[in-house]
Each structure stands twice: as C-alpha cells, then as structure tokens.
C-alpha cells in the first residue's frame, strides 16, 4: 500500500472506533502485506490524537492469548493520551466488545531508546527504565471476530489498544525482585477473582519489555523518555460488567483500580 492507502485504512478503523461500530475486516485494498506495513497503518492513528502517544502496549504475551486470537507471537500497539483513565477513575463500558480487565506490569522509561541495527539487551533496556507501575488494561477491537482476522489486521487496529489505568510508581526495590515469580491478584468488587504471575508475560515482564524495544527498533520506531509500556496481562483476562470495581493487588509494589459504569 502507498501512504494514501495506509492512511485510508487507518481512517476506516478509526471511524469504527469513534462510532462504536464493528467490521468483519479491512477492505481488500487496505490489507497490509506484512507486519511492517501493518505498523505503518497503525502509526497513522497518531494523526487523530492531540498529543503524542503516552506509550505502548504489548498484546498476546501469553501462549493462551496467542491461541485465542490466532497469532504466533506478541504485537505492539500505541497508548493514546485520550485513552488514559486516572487510578480509581471510571470506564464507561458502552459497547465494548471484549469486556475484560487485564492486570499488567508497566514500565516508565527514563531515557530514549532509538532504533539501531543490533538488538538491545535486557540489561540495556532495564537501565533505561525509571519506574515500575501496576496497571490495568481495558482492551477492545474494531473487528466483530478479532480472533479470526490475523496479526496484520490486529496490528493495524492498534493491537486492540483501548483504555488503560496506571497506578502510582512502585518502591524502587522492585529491581531486586524476581518479577517472573511475582504474584498478582485481580479483584472484582473486593473479592479475589484471578491470581497470576509475571511469568505469564513472555516468561517475565522484563523479557516482554525487551521484546517491545526490539520490535519497535526493528521497524524504525523509538521508545521515548517518559513513555510507559504495559507488558501484557499476568492474570487471566477478567470479565467486566457495569457496576464492577476492578482492582489489581500487586502486593508491596502497590495497587490500581477502575470503576466500570
């Protein structure tokens, strides 16, 4: 696709997003040929935002999640400034199709990591992190059957990014903890509904973060200072309904909450 078609494909998806409607898939002329082209379609979503993205998300970081949506690996998506919900704030559920809350580790970057020819090591990536936060993602898709459209169409649709909630920064001793074995609780209306571990996120949230940096670098995108990366759900996605209060209990690392209205 040329640049005009990439923008048209993004506009097609964004209109569904704004109108709260669904599609069975992109029109044939708008189908990305590969992941690189899918990311170029996705990038056009920045044209609809009043500010630069506040960060990135990683979708399909668990094997179960990959099987569920028919992909063989994770995908990156942009977190838009207009889609940030304050900790303890409210999500208006509306016609959200996915209707789930996901408890995630989030990393805030302390310096830029620009694209380069050689992969970043995990040590380099962690050295660029300024803080760890608990987070809740509230994803959605513009496709009626998002589990059937494949990775290129999902990437073009911003990897199911929608809203997210960022909790307060965790104590600095997070760097001494084994995040792979770290337990996270997902609560619904004050009762524990799901329990998970950091290992559910590509084996370790730090591995997921490193994957994201190198995925962006490979396709020519920087990860910038002060941007946040949410690394994928470490608990089974939790169904939500109007009236629910969803909380992530990250123990000594803090907590995060959202009300569903």
- 196: which residues sit within 8 A by CB, 6+ positions away? 103, 183, 184, 186, 233, 234, 235, 236
DSSP 62: S
pLDDT at 27: 96
Tell me the C-alpha to C-alpha distance, in Å, between residue 53 and each of 81, 180, 212.
6, 28, 15
pLDDT at 249: 98
Buried b (16+ CB within 10 A) or exposed e, 158-169: bbbbbbbbbbeb
pLDDT tens for residues 108-165? Answer: 999 999 999 999 999 999 999 999 999 999 999 999 999 999 999 999 999 999 999 9
pLDDT at 227: 98
Buried b (16+ CB within 10 A) or exposed e, 184-202: bbbbbeeeebbebbbbbbb
Q: Where are the strands (E) in 16-72, listed by range?
A: 55-59
Domain ranges of the chain: 51-260
Tell me the C-alpha to C-alpha distance, in Å, between residue 154 and each of 41, 84, 102, 121, 180.
11, 21, 18, 27, 27
Closest CA to 187 of 257, 130, 137, 129: 257
pLDDT at 102: 98
Closest CA to 186 of 91, 84, 255: 255
pLDDT at 184: 98
pLDDT at 63: 82
Q: Which CATH superfamily is domain 51-260 in?
A: Fumarylacetoacetase-like, C-terminal domain (3.90.850.10)
Cα angle vertex 44, ends 36, 100, to 5°?
A: 85
Q: Where are the strands (E) in 92-224, listed by range?
A: 100-109, 129-138, 163-166, 183-188, 191-197
Tell me the C-alpha to C-alpha distance, in Å, between residue 113 and each of 46, 119, 166, 189, 202.
20, 11, 22, 39, 21
d(CA 108, CA 86): 16
d(CA 233, CA 225): 23
pLDDT at 69: 85
pLDDT at 68: 82
Residues lower than pLDDT 50 in the chain: none
Report whether 32 contacts 156 (CB < 8 A). yes
Closest CA to 134 of 196, 64, 82: 196
């Amino acid at each position: 696709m040329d640049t005009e078609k990439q923008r048209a494909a993004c506009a097609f998806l964004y209109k569904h997003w704004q109108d709260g409607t669904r599609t069975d898939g992109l029109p044939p002329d708008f189908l990305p040929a590969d992941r690189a082209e899918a990311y170029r379609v996705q990038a056009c979503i920045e044209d609809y935002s009043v500010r630069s993205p506040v960060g990135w998300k990683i979708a399909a970081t668990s094997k179960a999640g990959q099987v569920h949506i028919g992909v063989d690996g994770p995908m990156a998506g942009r977190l838009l400034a207009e889609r940030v919900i304050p900790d303890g704030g409210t999500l208006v559920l509306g016609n959200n199709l996915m209707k789930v809350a996901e408890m995630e580790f989030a990393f805030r970057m302390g310096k830029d990591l620009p694209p380069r020819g050689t992969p970043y090591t995990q040590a380099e990536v962690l050295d660029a992190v300024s803080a760890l936060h608990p987070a809740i993602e509230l994803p959605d898709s513009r496709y009626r059957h998002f589990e059937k459209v494949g990775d290129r169409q999902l990437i073009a649709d911003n990897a199911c990014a929608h809203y997210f909630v960022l909790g307060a920064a965790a104590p600095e001793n997070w760097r001494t903890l084994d995040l792979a074995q770290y337990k996270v609780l997902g609560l619904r209306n004050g009762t524990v509904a799901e329990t998970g571990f950091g290992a559910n996120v590509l084996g370790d949230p730090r591995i997921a973060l490193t994957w994201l940096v190198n995925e962006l670098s490979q396709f020519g995108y920087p990860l910038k200072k002060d941007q946040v990366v949410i690394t994928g759900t470490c608990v089974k996605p939790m169904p939500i309904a109007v009236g629910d209060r969803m909380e992530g209990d990250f123990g000594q690392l803090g907590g995060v909450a959202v009300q569903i209205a």
